[in-house]
Structure 1
Amino acid sequence: MKGPLISAAILALLATTAAAPAMAASCDITVGMVMPLTGPAGAYGQAGAKAVDMAFRDFNDAGGVHGCHLNTDARDSESQGTVAVDQATQLVDIKKVPVIIGGIISSESIPILTSVTAPAHVVQVSPASSSPTLTQLCEQGKTNGVFFRTITSDALQGTAAAKFAIDSGLKKVAIIDVNNDFGVNMVREFSSAYKKLGGTITSITPYNPSQASYSAEASSAMAGDPDALYLVSYPVDGATIARAWISGGGPQKFLLNDGMNSPDFISAVGAKYLNDAYGTSSGTDETASTKYFYSNFTAFSGGIKPEAPAADRSYDAGAIVALAIAKAGKGDAAAIKAAIPEVVAPGGTPIYAGKDEFTKALALIAAGKPIRYEGVIGPIDFDHCGDITGPFRLWRIQGGDIKTVGQMSAEDVMKITTGAP
């Protein structure tokens, strides 16, 4: 299936992220990258790819792996699972990459994992795929332990969204959600917590991506006289749905998922319609890495803001992969898989983002000493399924700007889930 034509900007992005084998030194190591550079989730993939590039730039400037550089071979998934699998298959079978960074959205990451990386025992690190299905696959013994992610599961984010909705006065909502694994899981977790907290859901309307119009879905969702719309979507489709909702007379109050934290969404809908829009995202525990990334990413990326969806945690994915390859000492998937938890393990010397910090890390690794990378999103600990826990950022849109208005700890979210006091 053909996707949209790739623009000159995307071609330029591919040129900067894809390694040219003829130019690479024989000792260089290539890491595969499968991200949605086009399609409904294109904004995520473009920010994510540039953030990984920045992490690899910093690592290579620090000396690389025994003087050898890490390169990326970046592929566009076009926001489609089937395309993502095709691209990942080429990277694994033909390019023989030991690691794939991606996908960004769960509907890419899940088929890549089940069809490509797990059977091939190739490491996969996703910066932004939050579906609980990925944890379930691990618990069922279907991942071969190769999957890691630098974002919290929707099993927690849906609950955080429910609590934030109630606290923000959104007590009677309609839901429109993307009809894929991400949307279904997010709505399930949200619905359970929202009802437990006293909220009322007037309707749930799934939608299929990339439609020209969503007027029918918006009209259907208005039944039951909701106070607000919980929109679980991506920036492009989400803007089309929000416009249909507003033009059909729906209340201009919104609850939004993490990926809707996007300036493109605001400009496409119109800032004046979104002053009562609230959202949740995986949050950060600020470290020196956070300050470094937020100070340098826009200049490196050519204008992409550090707040862009998936940007911060994509840098961390790239940094962790780079440091794990350094610890492994080679581009071997099994060795890299074993090294990933070790480079973030408690007890090691703290390492932060940037060339100088990676130079220190490489010296410690060479001396056989442990390190602990503390990322842009904060200290990272992977459990046996490659999952992390962390806080949730609470934000709202005001005057066209996305403003953080609070934070909810993972512990507070778990209390809602378990019913603990």
Structure 2
Amino acid sequence: MTNNRTRRRAGAALALALGAAGIATGAAAQDCTTKVGAVLPTSVDWGRPIAETAQWVVDQVNEAGGVNDCQVEMILRDTQVDPKVGVDAAKALVDLDGVQLLIGAVSSGVSLPILTSVTVPAGVMQMSCCTSSTALTELAKEGKTNGLWFRTFATSGVQAAVGAKVAQDQGWKKVAVFYKNDDWGQDIGKLVAQNLESMGIEVTAQVAINDGQPSYRAEAASALSGQPDAVYMALYPNEGTATAREWLALGGTQNMILANSLKSEEFRENVGMQYLENAWGTDTASPRADSATAFVDAYEARFDSPPNGPGLANSYDATMIALMAMEAAGEDATGAEIAAAVPRVTDPEGTPVTADAEGFAKAAEIFAEGGNVMYQGATGNVRFDEYGDVSAPAVIWKFTEDGIEEVEYLSLEEVNDFMASLQD
């Protein structure tokens, strides 16, 4: 890197530190743009905040001088949580816009076909905030992701284990399982059923739910026939609402365990709080760390509300880590070169940097000098394993009249110990 570039970065960092918007820096004189792609479900209520969080990161990076002295343009396309729509969107971003970095998708059923049919064949790095299916881990183990796949959200195994823990803690002996009939739903539905059975809890039914049906009465009746004490729901808000209504109308129990995909105001309002008083939700969580607290404070200042929706902290870290890796990889880097630079961002021996504009500017200076950084983000000090996966703490939550209430926090050690106990 040239000395001139280092001086521009130093100027940007100084402007940030002083809050001097009027100071002339390299960022003000930029005349180039770096494009990155994003495939996120902006047409659903819980997907829009995920996309807004990713754009917030881009804005902060541009405030810090951009990536390799070029302003970043995030080209966002809606997946509609539909695999075909998602693949078409990703193809357009790669083939027409020429992106080497793709943020997304959210659903495993969308991320998986994008990875196998678009990003891997094109050599584009893919970083997901919210995909959890273990099928992607298996692809990586088989060498089919070419090191191009990363995600900041823990695999379905965490939520499946915590969902089984809820059933055990509540003393429920018989549980029916509803799961969305896609890669994510099939994965988590299978895992939670295995965990429940390993704990001596009877799984009375495993019922697949397809998109867009006029009625789910037959599916609800099938699940009800085993007279379960509780129902586990790994669904999205639209079909989750319809299924829950049919279930309740037929006299099904209000004892519910909800995957984080139903951590939605839309679901709560459309089903009715009066029917959800004994519904227990699960989700992965940020660690109890200063960097996670700083993210919450910054998010509230930016959006005038706390980050209660699913995947928001994960979206922040996915985008910031990916852009830092692009910075570390250098100008005109390929997807493979960006992916290879990710360890320089999450190096446990690297210089600590914060998850904000100042942190990005500091990281850029360190990369320019040949160093590595230890990113301290919204979900803590992120560490990817050899398959692009992360581990995470977890929470159990409940709906309230005002939103979401955390009931129990499980540290990473507690989650790992509980998951290990299920294998004994």
Give the TM-score, by structure 1 length.
0.89
Q: Please tell me whether residue 234 in structure 1 is matched to residue 239 in structure 2.
A: no
**Distance across 2 between alignment mates of 1:305 and 1:216:** 39
**Per-residue deviation at 1:62?**
1.4
Structure 1: 4+ residue segments shifted above 6 A: none
Q: Residue type matched to 1:383 in 2?
A: D
2:274 maps to 272
Contact 2:68–2:331 under 8 Å retained in 1: no
Is 1:99 equivalent to 2:125 in the alignment? no
Structure 2 gap segments, 5+ residues each: 1-28
**406, 416, 420: which one pairs with 1:411?**
416
- 2:369 equivalent to 1:367: yes
What SS does the corresponding residue of 1:347 show, helix, strand or coil? coil
Distance 1:372 1:101 in 2: 21
Letter in 1 for 2:155: S
Q: Which amino acid aligns with 1:53?
A: Q
| Conserved? CA contact 2:30–2:69, under 8 Å | no
Query: Which residue in 2 is equivalent to 1:263?
Result: 265
Cα distance in structure 1, aligned partners of 2:306 and 2:52: 11
Greater shift after overlay, 99-108 or 244-253? Answer: 244-253
Shift of 1:305: 4.6
Q: Specify the code of the residue in structure 2 equivalent to 1:264.
A: E
* Separation of aligned partners in 2, 1:418 and 1:191: 13
- The equivalent of 2:308 in structure 1 is 307
Q: Which residues of 2 match residues 14-93 of structure 1 at below 5 A?
A: 27-38=32-43, 42-93=44-95
2:218 is aligned to 216
- Aligned pair in 2 of structure 1 residues 105, 168: CA closer, same or farther (>3 Å)? same
Amino acid at match of 2:71: H
Q: 1:240 to 1:305 in 2, by over 3 A?
A: farther
Separation in 1 of the partners of 2:301 and 2:223? 42
Distance 1:218 1:331, change over 3 A: farther
What SS is found at the alignment partner of 1:116?
A: helix
The equivalences for 1:251-400 within 5 A come to 251-298=253-300, 300-301=302-303, 305-332=306-333, 333-399=335-401
SS in 2 for 1:37: coil
Equivalence for 2:207:
205
SS in 1 for 2:367: helix
Give, in whole Å, the separation in 1 of the partners of 2:143 and 2:133: 17
The residue type paired with residue 94 of structure 1 is: L
State the identity as a percent. Answer: 36
Q: Which moved more, 1:162-171 or 1:245-254?
A: 162-171
Q: CA deviation at 1:399?
A: 4.2
Retained in 1: the 8 A contact 2:354–2:375?
yes
Q: SS at the partner of 1:251?
A: coil
Partner of 1:129: 131
Name the residue aligned to 1:166: 168
Q: 8 Å contact 2:91–2:118 — kept in the other structure?
A: yes
C-alpha distance in 2 between matches for 1:413 and 1:37: 35
RMSD: 1.8
Q: Which amino acid aligns with 2:380?
A: G
Give the TM-score normalised by structure 2: 0.88
Corresponding residue pairs, total = 392
AA in 2 matched with 1:35: L
**In structure 1, what residue type is equivalent to 2:415?**
A
1:204 is displaced (CA, Å) by 1.4
Separation in 1 of the partners of 2:50 and 2:160? Answer: 23
Q: 1:403, CA displacement in angstroms?
A: 1.5
Residues 1:241 and 1:95: Cα distance change in structure 2 (over 3 Å): same
Contact 2:132 2:184 in 1 (8 A): yes
Contact 2:199–2:422 (CA under 8 A) maintained in structure 1: no
Find the aligned partners of 2:270 and 2:347 in 1 and give their Cα distance. Answer: 42
Q: Distance in 2 between matches of 1:58 and 1:162?
A: 40
2:9 equivalent in structure 1: none
